Structure 1
Amino acid sequence: MKKILIAMLIMIILISVGCSNEPSNDLNEEQQEDKNTETITYKSENGDIEVPKNPQRIVVLYGTLSGHVMALDGNIVGVEKWSMDNPNYEGYLDNAVEVSDENIEKIMDLDPDLIITGSTNKNLDKFQKIAPTVSFTYGKLGYLEQYLEVGKLMNKEDEAKKWIDNFRAKAKKSGEDIKAKIGEDSTVSVIEGDNKQMYVFGDNWGRGTEILYKEMGLKMPEKVKEDALKEGYFALSSEVLPEYSGDYIVFSKNTEGDNSFQETKTYKNIPAVKNNRVLEVDTNKFNFNDPISLDYQLDKFIEFFLGQ
């Protein structure tokens, strides 16, 4: 009996020693927590802000910036309605809920470690009490500079630079091929709207305009240049649309809107329409100029102009 008791005691001692040599899960969790709470100093347009080096729970309240965060694999837990409704973002927002800048308590419940919003947001002071909050002014930076800034904010500047270089090279080459096919002097208009209100766009208001005019170097009609280039967009009626139509048209179309103007003689007699040179795209997928949207838009243009 004594032998059995001694054997059992030795076994218990050996098991205890073995367990003490195993890595501590608690320690690993603490180390991980320390890693997630490391900070960097981001030089924002409003001064230096201490932000997480590796943000884990991000709330984005500015539709033009959410795609930048997604492209850098940021985990978005709260985002505004425009982003939630964008088909291009399907799969990126599985962990997110819809919020607005009025949902202070809801945002607080999400326990964010970083909030990104626009500079005109009236609740900035309230958000700053919840988590480090960085605001951006739309149009203050070029569209690719904006992505680089978000890369700096998320401590992923090198990834942003790499994407920018690859994107610009692809767009430039595609632009050269397109001009060789349609002619250096051919013009392209980008329009949006319906029977109630139409818009034509310059070169910095999303809808693929940055790609067409800035990266590819395609030309816009003189009338568009006169009225839309400075402000970025120009409102007009469908009756005067022919005056702003180029040799090719990109129509950012809201399928739920009243598009009956497309059945009028005025529209059907536009040369680009008669010659089947209109690219109709989903306005929800073409609104923004983040990397996800830009990649989608560029592929659409290559397919339309070059048939690839």
Structure 2
Amino acid sequence: MLKKGLPILLLLVLFLNACGNSQSNTSGGSKKGSGSAESARPKMVTYQSENGPVKVPAHPKRVVVLDLSAGDVIKLGIHLVGVDTYAENNPNYKPYLKGVEEVSADDLEKIASLKPDLIIGYSTTKNIDRLKKIAPTVTYTYGKLDYLKQFEAIGKLVNKEKEADAWVASYHQRAQALEKKIKAKIGANTTVSVIGTSAKQFYVFGDNWGRGTEILYQEMHLKMPELVKEKALKPGYYQISQEVLPEYFGDYVILSMQPGSDTSFEKTKIYKEIPAVTNHHVFKVNDASFSFNDPISLDYQLNYFQKIFLGKQ
């Protein structure tokens, strides 16, 4: 009787032992999986924003931009998942925004669905407190930093400080080289105006209002007409009427126009007789692609100025 029951007892011991090993393996697998989940969490660093320290991902991979920093982020090779309407409508950005959603600060559910790991906006952007609940949010006060310092600040934010510094150095070098060539061709005292028009309204711009003004005046030190300097330099821009256009036109004019703008002014006698017009020194540009001053836009503007002033591609 004892000998006959021994194999059954042995089988029972082996079965219980196997179950124990299986449970042990399952438990070990869970610990390993937990470790993988832990390692998958993004590394966070502290960014010193203008409003204090903010914990942000060391290497952001899904960024929503609600200000004019989209070109900065693009240039630094950071993946965007959402941008505002201004960026979406900029022709220079089109190649980089395939699959990127257009959003506003009111689209909280849509932004949340994009699962951003970083949101960038202005200090005046709506719903900041609610955006912070979706992802780490960093804001900047518009105009507090100049256009190059702003790019460097974005570079620091997304852990691309060296890349930002390298581009700025290259930009200075290229702009200064172009300055010498342009002045050698048109003269150091030749004046250049940057004028915008939309819906029969006209604006003349100073040296920091996009549309190439940073390059023309700050980098290449081309001269603006005295009246432009008097009226537009300090405020950044100055609205003028069609009747006084001749007073604000320099020897060369960059005319920034929105698509579909009224061009009837070009048929008036007062416009046709402006020296810059008769000399074919008025160059029309698309305001949507020319109004920004980020690296993508500045590279485009540099190439454009080289073309119109020197006749080179």
Separation (CA, whole Å) in 1 of partners of 2:36 and 2:205 = 51
Separation (CA, whole Å) in 2 of partners of 1:199 and 1:30 = 60
Distance 1:112 1:239, change over 3 A: same
Contact 2:106–2:126 under 8 Å retained in 1: no
Distance 1:84 1:30, change over 3 A: farther
Separation (CA, whole Å) in 1 of partners of 2:188 and 2:162 = 35
Separation (CA, whole Å) in 1 of partners of 2:165 and 2:219 = 16
What's the CA shift string for 1:28-54, capped at 9, x where partnerless? 997698366101111111111110011
Separation (CA, whole Å) in 2 of partners of 1:295 and 1:304 = 15
Separation (CA, whole Å) in 2 of partners of 1:214 and 1:116 = 27
Separation (CA, whole Å) in 2 of partners of 1:47 and 1:87 = 35
Separation (CA, whole Å) in 1 of partners of 2:37 and 2:280 = 58
What's the CA shift string for 1:184-223, capped at 9, x where partnerless? 1111000111452111100111000000000011011111
| Bigger radius of gyration | 2
Pairwise CA distance, 1:84: 0.7
2:82 partner SS: strand
Percent of residue pairs identical: 54
What's the CA shift string for 1:89-122, capped at 9, x where partnerless? 0121113111111111111111111000011113
1:180 partner SS: helix
- Which one of 146, 150, 159 corresponds to residue 155 of structure 1? 159
* Alignment-derived partner of residue 292 in structure 1: 296
Note the residue ranges of structure 2 that are not aligned, 5 or more in a row: 1-28
* Alignment-derived partner of residue 4 in structure 2: none
Separation (CA, whole Å) in 2 of partners of 1:203 and 1:214 = 6
TM-score scaled by structure 2?
0.87
**Is it true that 1:45 corresponds to 2:53 in the alignment?**
no
- Which one of 227, 230, 238 corresponds to residue 231 of structure 2? 227
Q: State the aligned residue count.
A: 283
* Alignment-derived partner of residue 264 in structure 1: 268
Contact 2:118–2:135 under 8 Å retained in 1: yes
Q: What is the letter of the counterpart of residue 239 of structure 1?
A: E
Contact 1:198–1:235 under 8 Å retained in 2: yes
**Is it true that 1:101 corresponds to 2:98 in the alignment?**
no
* Alignment-derived partner of residue 114 in structure 1: 118
Contact 1:194–1:259 under 8 Å retained in 2: no
Question: Following TM superposition, where does structure 1 have runs of at least 4 consecutive aligned residues deviating by more than 2 angstroms?
Answer: 27-36
Pairwise CA distance, 1:282: 1.1
- Which one of 58, 63, 76 corresponds to residue 63 of structure 2? 58
Distance 1:90 1:33, change over 3 A: farther
Distance 1:177 1:50, change over 3 A: same
Note the residue ranges of structure 1 that are not aligned, 5 or more in a row: 1-23
Distance 1:132 1:103, change over 3 A: same
Q: What is the letter of the counterpart of residue 214 of structure 1?
A: Q
Q: What is the letter of the counterpart of residue 34 of structure 1?
A: S
Distance 1:290 1:35, change over 3 A: farther
* Alignment-derived partner of residue 179 in structure 2: 175
Separation (CA, whole Å) in 2 of partners of 1:189 and 1:208 = 10
What's the CA shift string for 1:44-85, capped at 9, x where partnerless? 1111111001111111011x2111011111111111111111
Q: What is the letter of the counterpart of residue 167 of structure 1?
A: Y
